[in-house]
A and B are shown apart, each in its own frame.
Chain A
Amino acid sequence: AQSVTQLDSQVPVFEEAPVELRCNYSSSVSVYLFWYVQYPNQGLQLLLKYLSGSTLVKGINGFEAEFNKSQTSFHLRKPSVHISDTAEYFCAVRAMNTDKLIFGTGTRLQVFP
């Protein structure tokens, strides 16, 4: 079975500051890793994904994440946030032998002016 832990339920940050949203996972099999964003009153949108290859993955809106197998982490980073980045961010894993996504509980990023 797989599980995902997002350690921070809320992250407040000022505009133009850097941010890191933490994600750790647990799995007995190899997994693919994902970050989704959910803007207020909207559906989930894929930010980025790690399937294989380079452990540093770049996504949309200037976000990137690094897969660290030894630490079983997939933290999301952005060097300078905007007000428009205010949203809920979900980390998810999918075991390579399944199709379902297992999500973390989400981190609410609140960007202040």
Chain B
Amino acid sequence: GAGVSQSPSNKVTEKGKDVELRCDPISGHTALYWYRQSLGQGLEFLIYFQGNSAPDKSGLPSDRFSAERTGGSVSTLTIQRTQQEDSAVYLCASSSRDAGNEQFFGPGTRLTVL
């Protein structure tokens, strides 16, 4: 079946603008994760969803970052008033207990804030 998909693959925006990044998990996967991969910081956990609820938001770097998940499927990560330090690759992953909780990653969205 299809893997995790993310859109857009690339996003260039101006400082101060809001952006939305989308993640489509593998069908049937109840858990969904957002990570950020940036130079000098490596891969950082941002937020985790189980169904539509987010029991762990501990990695969100500021209140400019938010995420939601609807229908236990698609998730949107929103960054408000983007800053240059938000430039990174944003990765989404999904998992299910039936698959041993292995996290399957999408190709990522490369965000560049000018």
Q: Give A residues with C-beta under 8 Å from B.
A: 36, 42-46, 49, 51, 90, 92, 98-106
Contacts and interface: CB of A to CB of B under 8 A. Distances in A.
Contacts of B72: none
A44 to B, nearest CB: 4
Given A43-B91, A43-B106, A99 B42 contact: no
Contact of B105 (A43, A98, A100, A102): A43
Main secondary structure of the interface of B (DSSP, over half): strand
Nearest to B107: A43
Contacts of A99: 31, 33, 48, 50, 56, 95, 101
B102 A49 contact: yes
A90 B43 contact: yes
Interface in B57-114: 59, 91, 93, 95, 100-108
A48 to B, nearest CB: 11
A104 B107 CA distance: 19
